[in-house]
Amino acid sequence: MEWTEQAARIVAASGASALAVGGALFAAHWPASRLYGSALIAPARPEQIALTFDDGPNPRWTPMLLEILARHNARATFFLLGKYAVLQKPLVRRMQAAGHRIANHSWSHPNFAFTGNRRTHAELTRTQQELESILGEPACFFRPPFGARRPYTLRCARSLGLTPVLWNAMAADWKATTVDQVAPRLAALIERNHTRGVASNVVLHDGGQHSLDVDRSASVAAVEALLARFNATRRFVTLDAWIPASES
């Protein structure tokens, strides 16, 4: 992932103890780290799965995703980039009307571990304002790009009424070219979470930070496979089903 390269550069350039800096970067990026404040991951409800999608909307692949989700009568949560949402307002409203939850993924996908307070605030508020004007209601969830954050990132999100969200099931779907690189890995992680007694917070990508209409055929096919495999035995929920039960 991009952030590991950035992190490596920062560690290399730093005069401070590499161990201390490495520890801080670990805390800044690792989903389960609570050092920089709490974030929603997944509650102790092993029968539930939240499908979440980042970096959209995508004019080609998001509508296909909507069709698949509708066919399986499943709802999902979409973490949108403000810069893409503002270009596709009818699509965003379609997603909302279909019962999906729309959430904030920043305006332009910066790495918030290396972003100052002023820009962090601007990235979140600009997206929040645009989403509210499109949806007629405020978004309630925020996922930091790359999972990267500083204490201010989560404080800022919470001050805007946003619950920070991370994940506990991810395959490298943003660089996958076939469904086989994504679906089996996610299914194994979902089973692992189930064995551990927790729900699965699955992150996939319907968009891409660098391009509005990036190819997401592998991710979309993986969703079809996961719904076919789990829809009979598990419940697919949107993230608001987990508030306030798991928020701490």
String of b and e for 164-197 (b: at least 16 CB within 10 Å)? bbbbbbbbebbebeebeebbebbbebbeebbeee
Segment lying near Zn ion (by CB under 5 A), choices 33-41, 141-149, 163-171, 219-227? 141-149
Among residues 199 and 203, whose Cβ is nearest to Zn ion? 203
Residues 142-201 that bind Zn ion (CB under 5 A): 145
CB of 244 to Zn ion, least distance (A): 25
Contact 57, 77 (CB under 8 A): no
Could you count the other beta carbons within 10 Å of the beta carbon of residue 90? 8
Cα(158)–Cα(236) distance, rounded to whole angstroms?
Answer: 26
Residue with Cβ nearer Zn ion (54 or 224)? 54
Residue 15 phi/psi, 5-degree rounding, is -85, -10
Compare residues 36 and 79 and give the one whose CB is closer to Zn ion.
79
Give the residue, chosen from 55, 130, 173, 224, that forms a contact with Zn ion under the rule CB under 5 A: 55
Q: Which of residues 25-54 bind Zn ion (CB under 5 A)?
A: 54
Q: Whole-number minimum distance, CB 86 to Zn ion, in Å?
A: 17
Which of 190, 196, 197 has its CA nearest to residue 222? Answer: 190
Q: Which helix (H) or strand (E) holds 63?
A: helix 61-71
Tokens of 231: 């829809």
Smallest gap, in angstroms, from Cβ of residue 52 to Zn ion?
11
Annotated catalytic residue, options 29, 54, 109, 206: 54
Smallest distance from Zn ion to CB 145, Å: 4
Q: Which of 100, 173, 205, 206 is catalytic?
A: 205
Residue with Cβ nearer Zn ion (28 or 194)? 28
Question: Is 213 one of the annotated active-site residues of the chain?
Answer: no
Cβ closest to Zn ion, residue 120 vs residue 230:
120
For the stretch 175-178, contacts whose Cβ atoms lie closer than 8 Å and that sit 24 or more positions apart, written own/partner, are 176/218, 176/219, 176/222, 177/218, 178/218
Least distance to Zn ion, CB of residue 91, Å: 18
Q: At what angle do helices 217-230 and 183-195 cross, to 10 degrees?
A: 40
Size of the site for Zn ion (CB under 5 A): 3
Is 206 one of the annotated active-site residues of the chain?
no
Judged by the rule CB under 5 A, the positions of this chain that interact with Zn ion are 54-55, 145
Active site residues: 54, 205
